[in-house]
A and B are shown apart, each in its own frame.
Chain A
């Protein structure tokens, strides 16, 4: 165990410092114990548990409709996609057929959430590296998405719009018009991001060749999402195991092979453009019909275990439900993307300089409540 602030001087001239749990660069209550030799990192040890709320245990006392809103509090930046994963698992267990209209709405909302999440990451990551203005540019466009969400779902961050069998309410009459306006706006603004950050020489020098993760390591650490795809691992659940109507839309899985921080950055920038492509294909073709399937008043899953996975903005989220046939689950397990991605931080940062650790952590896109749950 380490005390709160601990400096060890041993024979190897090693120095142990604590970053966090209250540190602006860790984006939450993450505690890193870093062993240094000079400025070179020898070891990074993440300490977790500061924001553990036992969501999995809480879910055991909630019904299958109620536990969905608890999952919004894990990865709050892609709350909508978390809810989607939970709803999919319940539908799989109870064998509910989701109407086409609901599937279209769900996927459009998912991709809007992904863009909003990546925008926040882009601003926060530039801020980690000392660039302050990009944060405002990112939030300018993100605000448009949160307003669309507010209008249709009723909330800006923890939407709770998904229910087993579809979505809670139909889309707002202005929804399609506003999303199209957003697509036009976003297409003109994303080039500004490249001017501001991507092509910036200081940014490139600080991220290229930093925090390298090989393909083998990415697989063995269980990395998913942009972290794994930057190392050349094809792992997009939307492509490999399509859910809802992802098999009907055409989009590219962005892959890079460099495996460094800049590659992870480029993956997410590319994903935002792909998300726009998906929304464009769907927004004019939302079929008429029900937005919610008729379900029983008390949802019960048959005895057995059910697992589904979705691609959130950070990687693969798996929801595992063990049911004993009652109205509440016997056990719920969430496989969160942030936990596995964080475990590879030691491998990435080892041998690098302490200044580069912040760049590496920024491109991991960590959301601490998702890691701790």
Chain B
């Protein structure tokens, strides 16, 4: 039986984690992810979990300890935001290259500077090539559901790649919304026991982790990671299917909203998708065929599937909540445009930078984006493809 509640995204993730009861959680506070270790510390204090909670002295150490714990054979977890993720940078690559399944709850926040505690995606976008799986949520329900599915994906024998479960700072992490929680036992049964293959604390066979590997083997190690990445999409879909069985909630690689007959579409990540859906509802009432693709799985990038979903669209706006400093747009823009090119798609595409450092985005803003797409279709020309939304003039 599902339980209805009203929770913030952070509390929802912490509850999922209590239900999972991981082995080791090294933690360091940073806004806006701090509540996750805070809630969890109270679960530890009250005997609701038997996790080793290690309050370390920095994010570099929280990820280092998570790497150590995971290599040792323990199910490991940590959480962070923004500069904390930047400080972990080196460790992200080491976790991925050691093929260590572990889960990082990332509460997206702008990177300094200027120092800013509010939401954008510059932290995780910067880490997009680190070799991690990245999964994003629109709201607290999705953050919770993704968290419940995370270990199944990361620990899958064909994958064994760490996973970043992302949600938007404050907008999702702190706003309290209605949510449906699964029963503790259902989550435990769904996630199951962790059975590592090679690990430090295996009394029958010692292991060595983290070798020096130069020109003779390094390239194969990297290719090996890429091979693991190839299996991720199918595992994500399989796990989602099974999750639907216990929750009734369906997930894919991305969500399509009003895409069946869409002539113009927005592609975006995170909480602003909710705002965009409202804009689409208004436009649909006026007979305008607007649609949305909301990315759930960003790494690996479901390029061909997205291109297929955009096949009949005449114009598309790709929304980046992070700068790429390429002089022609952000990272999601580059990924989607590359997917369209490979698919020989006809859609005219523009790339917007929006919502940096928590800059608010309203339904009217998104209506404006669709208005621009309408104009692009009429003129048959995308015009300036590198645009800003909501910038002070």
Query: Does chain A bind chain B?
Result: no
Chain A contacts to B: CB under 8 angstroms: none
Chain B contacts to A: CB under 8 angstroms: none
